[in-house]
Amino acid sequence: MGELYDRMSRDIKLRNLSPATHGQYLRCACHFVRFHMNSPETMGASECKEYLAHLQLLGKGPESLKLYVAGLKFLYSVTLNRPEVADQLPWPKVPQKLVVVLSGTEVEQVLGAVRGLVASVALTAAYGAGLRISEACRLRVEDIDGKRKLIHVRQGKGQKDRYVMLSERLLAMLRRYWAAVRPKHGWLFPGRIEGQHLSPSAVRKALEHAVAASKLKKKVTAHVLRHSFATHLLETGNDIRLIQVLLGHDSIRMAAQYTHVSTAHPGPGHQPTGLAGHQTGRSPRVAGAPPRGARARHRAWAASADGGRHRARPR
């Protein structure tokens, strides 16, 4: 694409879109050009629709097609200043499906099978605070506010900051973890590369192995833990608007999806730090203590919690 590639890259940066969106839009434009072997400046809506139809034949689903449509719309409406082309590209309708939710026992089962202390605690924090995996991986030690019982999530989806609740159990677990690992360079969950945080792909791979080891029949992804967190909150009587704020959703309609999978009707409100509402009637220990299945692996570092000697970090 040459000069056009540079112009599109510049336009994306000027709008301060996320690095992931930046890469996706550019990949879409390059793939579009390779498919037609022609410059986008000489093509229009007909060629765009032909390209999208080709992607459908390749088996791309509605969610994936939305990404390509967004990239083409940006290319034509912004970089090429041809909004009439972008207006002719329809958004594919995405089927509304119920989210997968784990019971508290199943959450324990999965997290108890995670290998590696850093990945295990990162996934536990993601579930216990309702974080996206990318948000959990980017946590810094100073983001844990033990006095106010809050976690500061920086630049989440949509580049928005927010606070989420921090339970006593999760705080105690993070303190024991910090005392054992003493992470450097400020990252709460350091990666293998010096000075960098734990990569989301490494956490997803660790979760994938844990799900296989736990032999669950459900399709479990990192986002399923977040769905489970929200559903457990709803089942313990928390208001749906609170869930919306904690998850960082712009619209309450996103949080409303959990009403369709909850097994309980909303009741009196509870602090969203003691997650319950699952089939066994017992609150999952993962919100603030090592999963039972991982107790042997964590015995050495858990023993370092001696009544607050390491309360300095996290605060």
CATH superfamily of 104-302: Intergrase catalytic core (1.10.443.10)
Q: Is the pLDDT of residue 277 over 70?
A: no
pLDDT tier at 158, thresholds 50, 70, 90: confident
Where do the H-state alpha helices sit in 15-61? 19-36, 45-57
| DSSP string for 250-287 | SSHHHHHGGGGT-SS---S---TTS---STTSS--GGG
pLDDT band at 279 (very low <50, low <70, confident <90, very high): very low
Spans of all domains in the chain = 3-87, 104-302
Longest dimension (CA), the chain: 70
- Is 0.85 topped by the overall pTM? no
Q: So what's the pLDDT on residue 297?
A: 41
Q: Tell me the pLDDT tens digit for each residue of 75-126.
A: 999 999 999 999 999 999 988 777 888 888 999 999 999 999 999 999 999 9
Considering just the CA atoms, what is the radius of gyration of the chain in Å?
22
Residues acting as catalytic residues: 132, 157, 223, 226, 249, 258
Q: 3-state DSSP helix/strand/coil percent for the chain, to nearest 5?
A: 55, 5, 40
The model's pLDDT over 203-225, given as tens digits with 9 standing for 90+, comes to: 999 999 999 999 888 889 888 99
- Which pLDDT band, with edges at 50, 70 and 90, does 20 fall under? confident
What is 3-87's CATH number? Answer: 1.10.150.130
Lowest pLDDT segment from 72-76, 109-113, 175-179, 263-267: 263-267
Residue 187 gets which letter from DSSP?
B
Across the chain, mean pLDDT equals 82
159 to 16, 21, 139, 154, 233: CA distances (angstroms):
9, 12, 14, 8, 25
